[in-house]
Structures are given as structure tokens and as C-alpha cells.
């Protein structure tokens, strides 16, 4: 598999591309494509999070689970959808919390590329999915790859903000050195859980307060 990502990430992750799990991922995706299986996101966008947020620019990590599995939604950024696509319910709840937290107007676009370009790594734990089959690639090796990325970020950097929404993301807590980084945890923004602690979490203002305290430019959350 051709890995299309920004050069600083390619250098940082070069040892991971040689791991057996990465070969397993590549073999699995090639086999499914040979069967004409529809996979999201498209090949050029699988590593989009790494393309838009260079390794040396990462300030914040928002961890998602796997890509959207419906047509035209997945774009390689957790929670984000392309311009012209209706924001899914979880993303709408993120926007509602932003409005309550910092007064940001709720945008019509669900494209979060502007965040990514400021240093918000919108990382899904699993980077691909079969069309209409959520979590269908959850066990092909991606989680080992992204776990290693989280560990690398934790070990090699300091002063990052890790935003963990929901039980799945919060399981990654153990991979992060909390003495070096800020970890924010809350319920998932899904309509099924947002009222159990996501609404009112104020993670966006808390992120910027921490960044400023650590002499880092805050994130402009406006889309």
C-alpha cells in the first residue's frame, strides 16, 4: 500500500511501516479491493489526518473510532465530513457543545480541515471501513498501528492535549503519560450518550487554556 502522508510523519513512523501488523493491513485491503469491495475513505484520504497535521505541528489529538461507513462521508479525519455533506448527529452535538462552551456559531459545514491545519490531529483508531459495515476493519491491524502512534506522540512530545470521548477512546488513557500531557475525558457525543457528560464538558475552552498556559497558540475552533 502506498502511504500518502506528509513527510515529517513518514519519517516519524518509518519503523511502524515495517511491523508485521502493517503488512497484514496492506494484504487485507488489497484482497478486499481485488473483490471490488467498496472501502471508505478513498485510498488517497486514508492518511489524510497525517497529511493535514504535520508531526511537528501536533497540539491536540481528538480520537475517534472508525470512519463513517456511508457514501461520501469519510474523509480521513475523525468526526469530519466533506463540504456539502450534512453533519452527522455526533458532529452536530460537537458543534452544540462548542456553542455552549465558547459561543461559536453552529456552522453549516462539517468539514474540520481548518482544525487539522492548526494542529488538531483528528485520528480514528481504525483508518478504513467497508461500505455500510461499521467496525468491519476493526481487527485487521489498524488499532495496533494507531496505538503505537499514540505512544510515540506521548513519549516524544510534551504539552499535548488528548481528547477522549466515550469508553472506546478512554481505553487509550493507559498509553498516554499524564504527567507530560493534558487528558480530557467525557461521554461520546453520540445522541445516545451526549447527555451523560458530553454536554457541558467544556473541552474546547479547557484545551485552549492549557495550550496558552504552555505558551502554545490556542485553536481557533471556528469552521
Cite the active site residues.
Answer: 66
From the CB of residue 214, how many other CB atoms can be counted at a distance below 10 Å? 14
DSSP secondary structure string for all residues of 44-100? GGTTHHHHHS-GGG--EEEEESS---STTT--SSTT---TTSPPPHHHHHHHHHHHH
Pairwise CA distance, residues 199 & 75, whole Å = 25
Q: Choose among 31, 29, 34, 60: nearest CA to 127.
A: 29
- Residues 6 or more apart in contact with residue 15 via CB below 8 angstroms: none
Please state, in angstroms and as integers, the Cα–Cα distance from residue 99 to each residue in 91, 110, 200, 214, following that order. 12, 14, 11, 25
The one-character DSSP state at 151 is H
Amino acid at each position: 500500500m502506498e502511504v500518502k502522508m506528509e513527510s515529517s510523519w513518514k519519517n516519524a513512523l518509518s519503523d511502524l511501516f515495517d511491523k508485521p501488523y502493517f503488512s497484514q493491513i496492506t494484504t487485507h485491503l488489497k484482497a478486499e479491493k481485488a473483490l471490488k469491495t467498496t472501502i471508505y475513505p478513498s485510498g488517497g484520504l486514508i492518511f489524510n489526518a497525517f497529511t493535514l497535521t504535520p508531526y511537528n505541528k501536533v497540539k491536540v489529538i481528538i480520537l475517534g473510532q472508525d470512519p463513517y461507513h456511508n457514501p461520501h462521508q469519510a474523509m480521513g479525519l475523525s468526526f469530519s465530513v466533506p463540504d456539502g455533506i450534512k453533519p452527522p448527529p455526533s458532529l452536530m452535538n460537537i458543534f452544540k457543545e462548542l456553542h455552549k462552551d465558547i459561543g461559536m456559531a453552529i456552522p453549516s459545514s462539517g468539514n474540520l480541515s481548518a482544525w487539522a491545519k492548526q494542529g488538531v490531529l483528528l485520528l480514528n483508531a481504525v483508518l478504513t471501513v467497508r461500505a455500510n459495515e461499521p467496525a468491519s476493519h476493526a481487527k485487521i491491524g489498524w488499532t495496533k498501528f494507531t496505538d503505537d502512534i499514540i505512544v510515540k506522540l506521548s513519549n516524544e512530545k510534551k504539552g499535548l492535549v488528548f481528547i477522549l470521548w466515550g469508553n472506546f477512546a478512554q481505553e487509550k488513557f493507559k498509553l498516554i503519560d499524564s504527567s507530560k500531557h493534558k487528558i480530557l475525558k467525557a461521554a461520546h457525543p453520540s445522541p445516545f450518550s451526549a447527555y451523560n457528560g458530553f454536554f457541558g464538558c467544556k473541552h474546547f475552552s479547557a484545551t485552549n487554556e492549557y495550550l496558552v498556559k504552555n505558551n502554545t497558540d490556542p485553536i481557533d475552533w471556528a469552521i
